[in-house]
Structure 1
Amino acid sequence: MSQYGPQPVERDLPTDEARDLLTLVRELIQREIAPTAAEEERAGTFPRETFRLMSRSGLLGLPYPEEYGGGGQPYEVYLQVVEELAAARLTVGLGTSVHSLACHGLAGFGSKEQRTEHLPDMLGGGLLGAYCLSEPSAGSDAAALRTRAERDGDDWVLTGTKAWITHAGIADFYTVLARTAEDGAHGITAFLVPGDAEGLTAAPPEHKMGLNGSPTAQLHFDGVRVPDERRLGDEGQGFAVALSALDSGRLGIAACAVGVAQAALDEALAYTLGREQFGHPVADFQGLRFMLADMATRIEAGRSLYLAAARRRDAGLPFTQQAAMAKLFCTDAAMQTTTDAVQLLGGYGYTADFPAERYMREAKVLQIVEGTNQIQRMVIARRLAGPESGR
């Protein structure tokens, strides 16, 4: 291979097992994901069989304990796998992160009996999960959610609507946050709801500007009955479950953003090295070389930021602020990098014949999901200067 042009990312992996894992992931990408990514995104096709294959291969349970069928990998390894998947196709990388988010409530707050009963199938049994927090009137203000869960004997009855749910209508299980008391954030409880529960229906998928292969839709709960054995954690503990999951989920989004940005840089680099103008490759022109250098620098900085946050998580240290910083920086960097990639390809960058325009459309959503970047700035500022003063 030439020393110039796109190269595989050199990974800082802690063990031989992790290096073998990455080799497996790259082989799966080249065989199952990359060849059809552009075509399936144009058609809006969700790669359900790919997720089943990934589940059987252990790739959907990487950061969870081996005793429950997980991979037992540190978060710094798991996130680098997510980055590789997102670089090949964001629908797959983001879907992996969402699935992990959906498993977090049970793994972190469920009883041993619940984990033993459900986690093995969720992590390696071919199932796919979704996470249900946002609602039509409760997005950034998650504590304002209105979906209710009312006690009826040994069951809970869920009624309400969730919005912007990735995998809505196709997931096998949903981690759902619902209101069980009128006590603000302290009146929310988490539940594990089967995908085929009676009274649970999905609206038609939203028509989005990008990420067309990944279904996003409202989810309606019309008297959905859930046994108390599927309550995750204590009554009123749901907001803590949600915040804990979101800290980890934001690192998944940061990794996805770096993957998309890396794919955009690789495309721009290959194009500028191969395209000649005025008798020279366009990559010879200083203005374009500096753009490439800035793109690469943003990507490396973002990767270092999310890995530093992941290592804090692995060490059991607080990482809320670092996760917010990583999500903020990486997704902003992806938006700038993909926009630059379109510019570097000129007119070709604006056509669907090249993937640069898809990367730019996909990067935008990463600044919004798992808390908008404005919310990330609020989280960071609160850690630096304390809560806002009352007025």
Structure 2
Amino acid sequence: MTSGTAAPILAGDLLDIDSLLTEEERAIRDTTRRFADDNIRPHIGRWFDEGTFPRELAVEFGNLGLLGMHLAGYECPGTNAMSYGLACMELEAADSGIRSFVSVQGSLAMYSIHRYGSQEQKLEWLPRMAAGRAIGCFGLTEPDFGSNPAGMRTTARRDGTDWILNGSKMWITNGGIADVAVVWARTDEGIRGFVVPTGTPGFSAVDVKRKLSMRASVTSELSFDDVRLPQEAMLPHAHGLSGPLGALNEARFGIVCGVVGAARDCIESAQRYALTRVQFDRPIAGFQLTQQKLADMTVELVKAQLLAVHLGRAKDAGTLTPTMISVGKLNNVREAIDIARTCRTILGGSGITTEYAPLRHANNLESVLTYEGTVEVHALSVGRALTGLNAFT
């Protein structure tokens, strides 16, 4: 076989995924990519080091139409699901924590109000949240109940025409900077959701410090000490666990797409490094073992890209099922974290600093691997679909 040289193809372009997208979808993706390149990438290493998230990004995301972008009405952008997925790819190519902010704002907090809320709740919150002038969070997970939300201990009891909320929530993205929290609690009527302004007496949020993952993201514990809410705070159209689980499926689609961006960024970072890093008088990209790593990772990347596009089209067609979401979340996050770790090996010692993205992505993906459904939970969801038998308990 003859040797030769050719212009390298970026990993994300190998299968010409662009040909599967509409002109509008590509334009939204490219606009988001430019914003990330200009406004996030130059600073993300420092934000990660310092463990900070710049709150002012919310308004900039709102100006770009990234908040609640796949929701219609109430000053929301109303794009299709595929466009939202592509935006998530570009945001997570910069950092998972940044994408997580947008996902929680739009697919958890805003979606819950949009799907289950009253007209008054929608008019009060959605326009401000779409503009980034109000930040939302989603309170479901508790210190002792994550994968089993049916065991939640947070309660809401009636007191005349009001509700009294007590309990706590843990690992809540955006909690410490939120203006409003969508909180799920056990009542005499079953699981119900409440729209809780964070300035309500008895509400408090304490940020989680000393994180090794998702450092450019706010993660908090929420506490409710006799928080008095009017009857109008309840989400009228959410009954039981179907409410929060429906919102989680919305957010999981963003994860399925977003982690593809993180994986792509890792491979392209390793590509660039391998083409310039010289060992034994030639770039390490010219060694067979390096090319084996790049080839294997890129094959998994393009399969994840195709899966994300397929699920996006299914979501827009109204045929997306929870099992399909589980397949996407299980596969794409698992492959993305393996890609990030392998890319770090190509970078060698240079890969342990925030100057290069793969180890930062790998650390972030450790959280993505377990939040909104662990690997095990999604595997059992797929197993249940294949066998008809529930192996969760």
TM-score normalised by L of structure 2? 0.92
Structure 1 residue 249 displacement after superposition: 1.3
- Partners of 1:173 and 1:194 within 8 A in 2: yes
381-390 or 330-339, larger mean C-alpha shift: 381-390
Correspondence 1:319 to 2:326: no
Query: Kindly, what percent of the aligned residue pairs are identical?
Result: 33
Cα shift readout 1:124-154 (whole Å, capped 9, x = no counterpart): 2522211111001111001100100111222
- Partners of 1:61 and 1:124 within 8 A in 2: no
- Partners of 1:164 and 1:218 within 8 A in 2: yes
202-211 or 86-95, larger mean C-alpha shift: 202-211
Aligned partners of 2:370 and 2:209: how far apart in 1? 15
Structure 1 residue 5 displacement after superposition: 5.6
- Partners of 1:206 and 1:215 within 8 A in 2: no
Cα distance change on mapping 1:390 and 1:230 into 2, 3 Å:
closer
Aligned partners of 2:391 and 2:102: how far apart in 1? 39
Correspondence 1:174 to 2:181: yes
Question: What amino acid is aligned across from residue 44 of structure 1 in structure 2?
Answer: G
Corresponding residue of 2:97? 91
- Partners of 1:32 and 1:50 within 8 A in 2: no
Corresponding residue of 2:60? 53
Structure 1 residue 234 displacement after superposition: 4.4
Q: What secondary structure does 1:367 align onto?
A: helix
Cα shift readout 1:342-388 (whole Å, capped 9, x = no counterpart): 11112222344433221221121111110111010111112221233
Question: What amino acid is aligned across from residue 372 of structure 1 in structure 2?
Answer: T
1:176-215 maps to which residues of 2 (within 5 A)?
A: 176-181=183-188, 187-215=190-218
Corresponding residue of 1:4? 8
Q: What secondary structure does 1:157 align onto?
A: strand
17-26 or 101-110, larger mean C-alpha shift: 17-26
Aligned partners of 1:110 and 1:117: how far apart in 2? 11
Cα distance change on mapping 1:387 and 1:104 into 2, 3 Å:
farther
Correspondence 1:104 to 2:111: yes
Aligned partners of 1:152 and 1:5: how far apart in 2? 64
Cα shift readout 1:18-40 (whole Å, capped 9, x = no counterpart): 33323321222122111111111
Aligned partners of 2:207 and 2:248: how far apart in 1? 26
Structure 1 residue 112 displacement after superposition: 3.2
Q: What secondary structure does 1:102 align onto?
A: helix
Corresponding residue of 1:338? 340
Cα shift readout 1:169-189 (whole Å, capped 9, x = no counterpart): 1111111110012xxxx7100
Corresponding residue of 2:84? 78
Question: What amino acid is aligned across from residue 58 of structure 2 in structure 1?
Answer: F
Corresponding residue of 2:289? 287
- Partners of 1:189 and 1:234 within 8 A in 2: no
Question: What amino acid is aligned across from residue 233 of structure 1 in structure 2?
Answer: P
Cα shift readout 1:80-139 (whole Å, capped 9, x = no counterpart): 101101101222111111112111111112233432332211222522211111001111
Correspondence 1:63 to 2:70: yes
Aligned partners of 2:388 and 2:210: how far apart in 1? 39
Aligned partners of 2:139 and 2:28: how far apart in 1? 30
Correspondence 1:40 to 2:47: yes
- Partners of 2:58 and 2:132 within 8 A in 1: no
- Partners of 1:61 and 1:69 within 8 A in 2: no
- Partners of 2:47 and 2:216 within 8 A in 1: yes
Structure 1 residue 8 displacement after superposition: 6.7
Q: In angstroms, what is the RMSD of aligned CA positions?
A: 2.0
- Partners of 1:82 and 1:252 within 8 A in 2: yes
Cα distance change on mapping 1:53 and 1:389 into 2, 3 Å:
closer
Q: Give the gaps of 5 or more residues in structure 1.
A: none
Cα shift readout 1:295-335 (whole Å, capped 9, x = no counterpart): 11111111221222222221112420111111111110111
Corresponding residue of 1:119? 126
- Partners of 2:175 and 2:207 within 8 A in 1: no
How many pairs are equivalent? 384
Question: What amino acid is aligned across from residue 218 of structure 2 in structure 1?
Answer: P
- Partners of 1:133 and 1:142 within 8 A in 2: yes
Corresponding residue of 2:34? 27
Higher relative contact order (CA 8 A, sep 6+): 2
278-287 or 117-126, larger mean C-alpha shift: 117-126
Q: Give the gaps of 5 or more residues in structure 2.
A: 1-5
- Partners of 1:56 and 1:126 within 8 A in 2: no
